[in-house]
Amino acid sequence: MKAVRAIARLLLGAALVFAGTGHLTFARSEFQAQVPTWVPLDPDFVVVASGVVEVLIGLGLVFWPSKKRVFGWLAAGLFVAVFPGNISQWITQTDAFGLNTDSARAIRLAFQPLLILWALWSTGILGDVWRKRAYSKNKF
pLDDT digit string (tens) for the chain, length 140 residues: 899 999 999 999 999 999 999 999 999 998 998 899 999 999 999 999 999 999 999 999 999 999 999 999 999 999 999 999 889 889 988 887 778 888 988 998 999 999 999 999 999 998 877 776 666 666 65
Q: Report residue 62 CA to chain centroid gap.
A: 15
Domains in the chain: boundaries:
2-138
The pTM score is 0.88
68-92 and 125-138 helices cross at what angle (nearest 10)? 110
Judge contact between 124 and 8, C-beta under 8 A.
Answer: no
